[in-house]
Structure formats: C-alpha cells, structure tokens
C-alpha cells in the first residue's frame, strides 16, 4: 500500500512541477492533465487488485467472416444462462448439458427421433431375460483428452462415482445394484429389479464418461476443467460470460468435428441475444422469444427452426393447503383454463396446448390426453360441489419474466369469468424453488425441461414423496401403476399404464398441465450441419461455417 501512495504522490507531484514550469501553458492542457492524473492514479490503484489475467482469448468478437476460405472456424452459440457445473456427477441444469455434450461422449446417444443409438458403446446392450442384467460392449482405441485410455475400468469408475449418494445422478441410478467389469471392453450393470428407463438414463449425464485420471486429480473441482472423450476439449472459461472449447484432433469419429472452436456465450436477455445474432456476433441462439420469430424470419441470412420439445409447463396446486386441499376446487381451476387460447395469445407456434406430462414427441404422448373443452357450467357445478358456489380466491406464485407474466395474466382473466379470483405474485426464481420445496404456496407456476424416457416426466412428479412432487400428491393406486411401468420393458404396455395414471390424475388435478414448449433455435445461414433435436441440446460435431 505505501508503495501505491508513493506512486500517486509522485504522479501528482510531477503534475504540479510541470504545471509550475509551464506557468504560461494553455489552460486546456492543464485541465486535461489533471483529468489524466486522476485517471492514471485510479488505474494504478485498481490495478493493484491482483494480477488480472483476462482469460478468454478472442471470444465472441470474431468479426463477421469476409469471404475467402482458410483460417480456423469459430462457432459462437448464445445460451440463456451460465452453466452452473460442468461435472456430470454434480450437474443439475439443462444448460450444463448443452456444453457437456461437446466435451463428453456418452455410452448411448439419442437421434433426432429420440431413438437410442450407441455412442461409446459398440452396440445396444444385451439384456437378460428377467431385465436385470445389462451387458455393454465398448468401442476400442478411444482415449480421453488427457491421453488416458477409455476402457471398462473407466466406465466402472464413472458409474460408481455416479452411484455415490452425494452425486446428482444417484436417484437416476437408484435401480442399479452394482457395476462390474467383464473384460477390458465389456461392462455389466446389474439391477435390483427391472428398470425400463435405464437405457435412456445412459444417454444423459449418467452415461457421460470423464477421464478417471483427471477426476482423481481434481476431485470435486472436476467441473472447472472437465476432461472427456468428446469432439471438443475444454479450453477456458470466464464464469458467467463464456466457455471456450477447441477441436479434439484425436476424435474417434472420422472427419469430425468440423469446426475448430466452439464458444458458448452467456446472454441472459432475449432481445440482446436476437440483436447479437443479427449483427453476426452470435452464430446460433438457443431460445427465441415468440415475438421475435417473424422479425428473424424476415432477415434473409438467418434461419429459424421450430421443433418439438420434451418438457411441459404448468401449475402446482398445493394439495395440503387451503384452498387446494379441496379436489373440487383444483378441478374447477383445471377446467376453467382454455389452453388453446392461452397458447395462441402468448406463444403462437412456439408451444402446443397440453394436458399431461408427455409432449407429442414422447413415445407416451397418447397417455397425456386431449386438452378439455372449457366448460364454465361444469366449473360452476364443481365450485358448488366444493362448497364455494360464488367462487374463491388464491395466490399464484410465478417467476419473474415477461412470458411467465403474460401466461399468468391470461389465466387470471379466464378464471375471473368463473368467479375465481387469482392474485399474481412474482417471486425471484431462487425463492420460488425454496417456496415450492417447503410447501409455502397455494399455487406455483413451474415446469420441466423433460426427459426422453416417459418415466422421467411423470414418476418424480406424481409418485408419493417424489423429488418433483411439490403438489404433495399421494395416491397409492397411482404409485402402484408408476412402479409397474418401471418394471415393464415393452413401451406399449407402459403407455397403457400411464394412460390409467393420467385418468386418475385428471380427476385429482394436483398439477395443472398447460402447454408443451417447443424448441426454437435461430442461426446464421452460414452455419451448416445444424439439427434441431427434441432434447434441445445442440450437437456441435457436425457444425461448420461456410464463408
């Protein structure tokens, strides 16, 4: 500190000396010098805050390409939030998966039609007669980014890490009893009981394979420098701003990846994201607000793609609290909402009306059921049965943001027609999650990004004590059916079971299913190889940029 004081003194002193010497100097110069002195002093002081290493290289500032080939290809993708944790064992946000999918390969992947395809596995697993033993053959000759060989030991190491109760993957693998190495390139997963969603689970984070060496060295800091076998290697990151990945030259898929660098840029504001896409600062954006679609379509060198999604949105009703401990009132709210009008007003083509946990892309879509016709007479009858013929009042907690506000407003008006008064209370997202966890709400608008296996969209939500069951719904019949659907391997039989579940759930209405958001992506026409997957995750290995 004293050193800095000296610096400042020297600076200021020097200024005074020069000023005295230049007694006749122009006044403007003097005023400017003062300003400069002030600025310089501040700069020096600020500079002592630690050796600032800027980190990120060229980042998203590559100017729009100016014809001519050659030069490395950088693709910049705008994402709406900063990925909290890139460690597959710790991650629990959708946005993590965007980036992880470029760094890590998984045992299995999904294709555009949600079919499971082998990735690090050589083929689909061999499943024993009783559905409890999965034998997985692995590809050979693959190495992690740090040179560690990929083999059965690595798979066992990763899966055992995910089976640790502290891992975020623990509940997804709850059916697994043990993981065994058969030989260097064969692994066996033994289940406690048959568990139909297992294969899909291995297409997500529980199937991501990290370098055992890097994990042992980094421990719980692995997310800061993730090492996988994927098409791109982690290069650097400025938290909250960007993540830079570079090409993995030893990638096992011939001729891939096509790009040299992928930059994930965090842009939280939708409008800013759209403007940056137009200006060429971003090549791809992960979400597009409904009101910007027409605008983006009118720009000749941009493309907009709308594809099916995996998730749903709706409203939790707290079945343990007034007024929604009364099933008639829950059902009244459910039937007073006209889903197709809601979607037309707020989303147009970026969502579909919904009445269950399974969107049209899901193999169990048929079990969701058709959204009901709005029937105010029936609503009135239900209110009378529930002991509130004149209607009642409740508060909806909803996250902040223009879209959630619009949805709440439209619903408020629809309910008002039936004499139901809904107050809208905006709550910051972190508090909203806390309130729904603790049952501190009457109704709360929260949805789900979705899972490819139907089980992931229904079991945690409706099973007694399920991790997403914030409605506190409990129905032994529903629990029985959900458990059975996990044991049955045939999808048609499972869909039939889900249909029975939904019949009961529509009667009880613990959760108001409203709509299925679609995946809307927009990108520059220079980008080739872009495919809009239902899981919303951008596969980067085939992306390239023509100039």
Contacts of 241 (CB under 8 A, 6+ apart): 56, 82, 265, 266
Note whether 169 and 162 are within 8 A (CB). yes
Q: Which residue lies nearer to other proteins by CB, 79 or 199?
A: 79
3-state secondary structure of 268: coil
Contact between 41 and other proteins (CB under 8 A)? Answer: yes
What 3-state class would DSSP assign to 47? helix
Q: Judged by CB under 8 A, which stretch of 10-18, 132-140, 195-203, 325-333 contacts other proteins?
A: 10-18
Is residue 57 at the binding interface for other proteins, with CB under 8 A as the rule?
Answer: yes
Q: Report the C-alpha gap between 468 and 437 in whole angstroms.
A: 9
Residue closer to other proteins, measured from CB, 4 or 384: 4
The span from the CA of 369 to the CA of 371, in Å, is 6
Query: Smallest gap, in angstroms, from Cβ of residue 146 to other proteins?
Result: 19
Contacts of residue 372, defined as CB under 8 A and 6 or more positions apart, other chains included, come to 334, 335, 355
* Helices and strands in the chain: count of H runs, count of E runs: 16, 21
Neighbours of 325 (CB within 10 A): 14
Does 50 engage in binding with other proteins (CB under 8 A)? Answer: yes
- Write the binding mask 413 to 432 for other proteins: x where contact by CB under 8 A, - elsewhere: ---------------xxxx-
Question: How many residues sit in the footprint of other proteins (CB under 8 A)?
Answer: 90
By CB under 8 A, residue 94 contacts other proteins: yes
Q: What is the DSSP letter of 410?
A: H
**Residue 64 within binding range of other proteins, rule CB under 8 A:** yes
Site for other proteins in 278-297 (CB under 8 A): 278-281
The residues in 514-543 that bind other proteins, with binding defined as CB under 8 A, are: none
Does the protein bind other proteins through residue 14 (CB under 8 A)?
no
Any residues with CB less than 8 A from the CB of 71 and at least 6 apart, and which? none
Nearest to 266 by CA among 83, 509, 460, 143: 83
Residues 166-185 that bind other proteins (CB under 8 A): 166-168, 170-171
Q: Does 320 bind other proteins (CB under 8 A)?
A: no
CA atoms of 457 and 261, how far apart (whole Å): 34
Judged by CB under 8 A, the residue of 20, 21, 63, 113 near other proteins is 63
Shortest distance, CB of residue 469 to other proteins, whole angstroms?
Answer: 10
Least Å distance, CB 490 to other proteins, is: 28
Residue 206: name the closest of 174, 234, 253, 237 by CA: 174
Q: Is 437 in the site for other proteins (CB under 8 A)?
A: yes
- Looking at the Cβ atoms of 271 and 492, the one nearer to other proteins is 271
Instruction: Compute and round to an integer the Cα radius of gyration of the chain.
Output: 28
What does the CA dihedral 150, 155, 160, 161 come to, rounded to 10 degrees? 50
Query: Which one of residues 268, 301, 340, 528 is an interface residue with other proteins (CB under 8 A)?
Result: 268
Residue 51 sits in the site that holds other proteins (CB under 8 A): yes
Nearest to 347 by CA among 335, 336, 359, 339: 339
Euclidean distance between CA atoms 232 and 249, whole angstroms: 8
387 binds other proteins per the rule CB under 8 A: no
Residue 69 makes contact with other proteins by CB under 8 A: no
Closest CB 124 distance from other proteins, rounded Å: 27
Residue number with CB closer to other proteins (37 or 408): 37
Residue 57 corresponds to which tokens in the numbers above? 């290289």
Q: Which of residues 134-173 bind other proteins (CB under 8 A)?
A: 165-168, 170-171
Using CA atoms, how far residue 121 sits from 109, 115, 125, 189, 545, in Å, is 10, 15, 8, 13, 30
388 vs 451, beta carbon nearer other proteins: 451
User: Closest CB to other proteins among 40 and 424?
Assistant: 40
Question: Least distance to other proteins from the beta carbon of 447, Å?
Answer: 9
Residues 188-247 that bind other proteins (CB under 8 A): 220-221, 223-224, 238-242
For residue 82, state whether it binds other proteins (rule: CB under 8 A). yes
**Interface residues for other proteins in 478-517 (CB under 8 A)?**
none
Q: Which stretch binds other proteins (CB under 8 A): 151-159, 446-454, 495-503, 527-535?
A: 446-454
Kindly state whether residue 272 participates in binding other proteins, applying the rule CB under 8 A. Answer: yes
Nearer to other proteins, 30 or 213 (CB): 30
Query: Looking at 20, 21, 49, 129, which residue binds other proteins (CB under 8 A)?
Result: 49
* Angle at alpha carbon of residue 20, lines to 16 and 21, rounded to 5°: 120
> For residues 48 and 384, which CB has a smaller minimum distance to other proteins in the complex?
48
Return the residue of 22, 35, 182, 416 that touches other proteins, per CB under 8 A: 35
E strands present in 71-200: 74-79, 108-110, 116-118, 126-127, 133-137, 176-183, 186-191
Choices 23-31, 98-106, 368-376, 478-486 (CB under 8 A): range interacting with other proteins = 23-31
Nearest 5 degrees, angle CA 178-CA 183-CA 187?
35
Nearer to other proteins, 254 or 279 (CB): 279
Q: Give kind and range of the element (H or E) at residue 114.
A: none
Residues 517 and 297: their CA atoms lie apart, in Å, by: 19
Q: Work out whether 384 is an interface residue with other proteins (CB under 8 A).
A: no
Name the token pair of 251.
Answer: 């990638």
């Amino acid at each position: 500190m004293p050193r800095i004081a000296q610096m400042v003194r020297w600076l200021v002193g020097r200024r005074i000396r020069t000023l005295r010497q230049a007694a006749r100097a122009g006044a403007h110069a003097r005023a400017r010098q003062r300003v400069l002195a002030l600025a310089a002093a501040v700069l020096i002081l600020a500079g002592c805050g630690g050796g600032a290493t800027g980190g990120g290289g060229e980042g998203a500032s590559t100017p729009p390409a100016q014809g001519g080939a050659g030069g490395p290809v950088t693709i910049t993708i705008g994402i709406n939030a900063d990925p909290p944790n890139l460690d597959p064992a710790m991650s629990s946000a959708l946005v993590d998966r965007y980036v992880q999918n470029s760094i890590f390969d998984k045992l299995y992947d999904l294709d555009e039609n949600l079919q499971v395809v082998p990735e690090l596995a050589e083929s689909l697993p061999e499943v024993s007669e009783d559905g409890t033993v999965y034998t997985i053959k692995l590809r050979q000759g693959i190495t992690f980014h740090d040179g560690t060989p990929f083999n059965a030991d690595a798979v066992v190491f990763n899966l055992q890490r995910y089976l640790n109760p502290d891992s975020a993957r623990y509940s997804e693998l709850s059916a697994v009893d043990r993981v065994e190495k058969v030989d260097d390139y064969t692994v066996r997963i033994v289940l406690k009981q048959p568990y139909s969603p297992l294969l899909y689970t291995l297409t997500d984070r529980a199937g991501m394979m990290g370098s055992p060496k890097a994990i042992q060295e980094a421990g719980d800091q692995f997310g800061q420098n993730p090492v996988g076998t994927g098409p791109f290697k982690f290069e650097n990151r400025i938290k909250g701003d960007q993540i830079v990945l570079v090409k993995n030259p030893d990638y096992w898929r011939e001729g891939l990846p096509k790009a040299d660098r992928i930059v994930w840029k965090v842009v939280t504001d939708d409008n800013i994201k759209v403007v940056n896409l137009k200006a060429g600062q971003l090549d791809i954006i992960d979400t597009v607000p409904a009101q910007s679609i027409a605008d983006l379509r009118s720009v000749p060198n941009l493309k907009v793609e709308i594809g099916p999604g995996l998730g749903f949105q709706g409203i939790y009703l707290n079945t343990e609290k007034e007024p929604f401990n009364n099933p008639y009132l829950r059902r009244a709210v459910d039937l007073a909402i006209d889903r197709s009008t809601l979607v037309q007003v707020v989303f147009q083509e970026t969502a579909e009306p919904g009445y269950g946990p399974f969107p049209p892309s899901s193999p169990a879509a048929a079990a969701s059921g058709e959204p009901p016709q709005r029937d105010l007479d029936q609503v009135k009858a239900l209110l009378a049965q529930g002991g509130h013929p004149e209607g009642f009042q409740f508060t909806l907690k909803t996250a902040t943001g223009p879209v959630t506000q619009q949805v709440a407003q439209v619903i408020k008006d629809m309910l008002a027609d039936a004499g139901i008064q809904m107050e809208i209370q905006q709550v910051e997202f972190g508090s909203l999650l806390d309130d729904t966890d603790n049952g501190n709400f009457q109704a709360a608008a929260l949805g789900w990004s979705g899972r490819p296996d139907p089980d992931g969209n229904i079991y945690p939500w409706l099973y007694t004590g399920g991790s997403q069951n914030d409605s506190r719904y409990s129905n032994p019949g529903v629990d029985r059916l959900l458990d059975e659907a996990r044991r049955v391997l045939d999808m048609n039989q499972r869909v039939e079971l889900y249909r029975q579940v939904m019949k009961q759930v529509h009667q009880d209405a613990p959760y108001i299913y409203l709509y299925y958001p679609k995946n809307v992506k927009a990108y520059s026409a220079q980008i080739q190889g872009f495919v809009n997957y239902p899981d919303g995750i951008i596969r980067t290995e085939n992306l390239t940029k023509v100039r």
